[in-house]
Amino acid sequence: MTNSTINMTKIHNFSAGPGILPAEVLQQAADACINFDNLNLSLLEISHRSKNFEAVMDESKALVKELLELKDGYQVLFLGGGASLQFAMAPCNLLRTDGTAGYVNTGVWASKAIKEAKIIGNTVVVASSEDKKFSYIPKGYEIPANLDYLHITSNNTIYGTQIKEFPKTAVPLVCDLSSDIFSRKVNGNDFALIYAGAQKNMGPAGATMVAVREDILGKTGRKMLSMLDYQVHIKGESMYNTPPVFPIYVSMLTLRWLKKNGGIAWIEKINQQKADTLYNEIDRNSMFIGTTAKEDRSNMNVTFILHKPELEVEFDKLTKEANLSGLRGHRDVGGYRASLYNALPLESVNALVEVMQAFEKKFA
């Protein structure tokens, strides 16, 4: 059986999620859908209990541990339900029935996490940037010592902000790393729990990675539903129920790609170059305005608006002609958003900058 070949017109993909994946990963994933591991069977139709897929699961977990530099004592899970399910699973597993959870509210997804936690138990918001429409990251806030955990969101895809320095605290730290995981150097051992939807820097939608320090589990005093219990999924080795096989496989391929090319140090340097290139143009160009505090600008999701919103139709026309896709801002905020995930090449950022310069030359 011969491999298929993906051949598409070059599109510069700035989609906020599901986001861009490496071309070689897409090719390998496509091939596996036809003939996986030379079994003459599709990855989509083999048993998740087969040795072939168990090897995929084991390698995926090992790559996560290696790239996050996790020490002994952490368990890695691949689950379904997206980060949105983790909004409920985290407090179910960590918030004691007589305890308190703390949250930092930096955007829509943090707000949704807070909403779920309040259903589970006592929850307080220790800091928030809602007062300025989530255009900055709160700093210098006091963290109560009696919290069962403190929950933060590392990167805010809708508003374009990113935590540059994580809180230093003795309180167990929980982090939603969905939109910037594996994009920059992070010491995973600083966190008691990390979770991330795969569909930004790791794989397609459908899989969620969880890394949890096992010694914090089983202390809530709460009777748990099996599907919401991390300990059940750990015991089942992420196979308590049928796992999202294809997204996990593509995540493994993407993490292989990252490791092969130089790991986090390699991609962090490229991501910084991409972000600097685009932010410098936004600040220089008379037609555009950045929407977030400069010190909190996200390297993953660059948000901006036009000085003259009435020219959006003209700008959209230019981006379409240049094969730039996925630039419209989130429906809740409007404007524009360029997502610079790991697999987006600098070439695509340069193409966007050229369009912005052409736009200024024509309409300034």
Tokens read off for 246:
């294809």
Give 3-state DSSP helix, strand, coil % of the chain, rounded to 5. 40, 15, 40
Is the bond into 18 cis (omega within 30 degrees of 0)?
A: yes
Boundary of a domain, candidates 226, 261, 296 = 261
Catalytic residue among 61, 109, 180, 257: 109
> Is 274 among the residues known to form the active site?
no
> Is 109 among the residues known to form the active site?
yes
Specify the CATH number for the domain of residue 203: 3.40.640.10
Catalytic residue among 180, 200, 274, 296: 200
Catalytic residue among 61, 148, 176, 296: 176
Q: Give how many domains the chain has, as a whole number.
A: 2
Full pLDDT tens readout for the chain, 364 residues: 345 455 456 899 999 999 999 999 999 999 999 999 999 999 999 999 999 999 999 999 999 999 999 999 999 999 999 999 999 999 999 999 999 999 999 999 999 999 999 999 999 999 999 999 999 999 999 999 999 999 999 999 999 999 999 999 999 999 999 999 999 999 999 999 999 999 999 999 999 999 999 999 999 999 999 999 999 999 999 999 999 999 999 999 999 999 999 999 999 999 999 999 999 999 999 999 999 999 999 999 999 999 999 999 999 999 999 999 999 998 888 899 999 999 999 999 999 999 999 999 999 9
Specify the CATH number for the domain of residue 314: 3.90.1150.10
Boundary of a domain, candidates 218, 246, 261 = 261
Closest listed residue to residue 78, CA positions, set 176, 267, 212, 173: 212
Q: Do residue 225 and residue 335 come from a single domain? A: no
Reported pTM: 0.95
Residue-number span of the structural domain to which 119 is assigned: 25-261
Residue 358 within any structural domain of the chain: yes
Q: Do residue 288 and residue 199 come from a single domain? A: no
Boundary of a domain, candidates 237, 261, 285 = 261
CA-CA distance, 315 to 308, in Å (whole number)? Answer: 11
